[in-house]
């Protein structure tokens, strides 16, 4: 993974057909996805249950791009090695998941993954400042984590702007996650986000057998975001 701040679209497979992950991943990558976002939920840190390391290992051979694993679990440290061994390229833990996030980030990098730090909508940037040398990505949640298809929380735009200023020239991605559509993506791209996670807005209208809508959805989000950053769509 080389670092760049171009717009990257990361479809969340939380909105895919769970019986057909291999075909769904091929479809979104063929249709222009840059990263594949995998939402891991534990029924404790968030009120929903999804995937564990065996599922991640099973889909890994189907991913040609970047496997971006978002851990919505607490505690997180006991699981880091298993998700790294399952093939995560980026492993993101929540700032709110425990008292020793510095140790968590050390463990993620120590396991050979890029380290991501996710922030719930109610969390400010105070806890990020002392960790900037430890992280490769900050994920700003634009919904409360737990479910796809929720409404974008506009107060996070200002947070992304302040985060972008805090990051400066450091090679740290800003990822946004939740409620991203062609309408909300440009607001966040203009504020400084470069990785746009989208579940329902990518998968709506298509299927692994009829993937063209996935491509149209990805292109619509990308074009709106690139227009807002001044990059030609």
By annotation, the residues acting in catalysis are 39, 177
| C-alpha separations of 182 from 17, 62, 140, 147, 148 in Å | 22, 27, 18, 19, 16
Q: Do residues 128 and 119 make contact, with C-beta atoms less than 8 angstroms apart?
A: yes
Binding flags for Zn ion, 35-74, as an x/- string (CB under 5 A): ----x------------------------------x----
Partner whose footprint covers residue 139, from Zn ion, ligand DX5, none (CB < 5 to 8 Å by kind): none
The answer to whether the beta carbons of residues 7 and 190 sit under 8 Å apart is no
Binding-site partner at residue 186 among Zn ion, ligand DX5, none, CB < 5 to 8 Å by type: none
175 binds Zn ion (CB under 5 A): no
Residues 67-106 that bind Zn ion (CB under 5 A): 70
One symbol per residue from 126 to 165: x for binding Zn ion (CB under 5 A), - otherwise; what is it? ----------------------------------------
Q: Give start and end residues of each alpha helix (H) in the chain.
A: 21-30, 53-59, 80-85, 101-110, 126-129, 156-167, 185-191, 200-203, 212-229
> Which residues lie near Zn ion (CB under 5 A)?
39, 70, 177
């Amino acid at each position: 993974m080389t670092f760049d701040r171009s717009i990257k679209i990361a479809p969340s497979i939380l909105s895919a057909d769970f019986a057909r992950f291999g075909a769904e991943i091929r479809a979104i990558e063929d249709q222009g996805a840059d990263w594949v976002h995998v939402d891991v939920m534990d029924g404790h840190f968030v009120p929903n249950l999804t995937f564990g390391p065996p599922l991640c290992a099973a889909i890994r051979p189907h991913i040609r791009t970047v496997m971006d694993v978002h851990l919505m679990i607490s505690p997180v440290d006991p699981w880091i090695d298993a998700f790294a061994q399952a093939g995560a390229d980026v492993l993101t833990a929540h700032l709110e998941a425990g008292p020793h996030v510095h140790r968590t980030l050390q463990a993620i990098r120590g396991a050979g993954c890029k380290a991501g730090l996710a922030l719930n909508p109610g969390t400010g940037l105070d806890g990020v400042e002392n960790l900037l040398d430890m992280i490769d990505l900050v994920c700003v949640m634009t919904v409360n984590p737990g479910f796809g298809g929720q409404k974008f929380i506009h107060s996070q735009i200002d947070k992304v702007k302040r985060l972008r200023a805090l990051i400066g020239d450091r090679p740290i991605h800003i990822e946004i996650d939740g409620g991203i559509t062609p309408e909300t993506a440009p607001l966040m791209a203009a504020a400084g986000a470069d990785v746009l996670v989208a579940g329902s807005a990518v998968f709506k209208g298509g299927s692994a057998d009829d993937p063209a809508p996935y491509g149209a959805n990805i292109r619509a989000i990308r074009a709106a975001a690139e227009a807002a950053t001044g990059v030609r769509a």
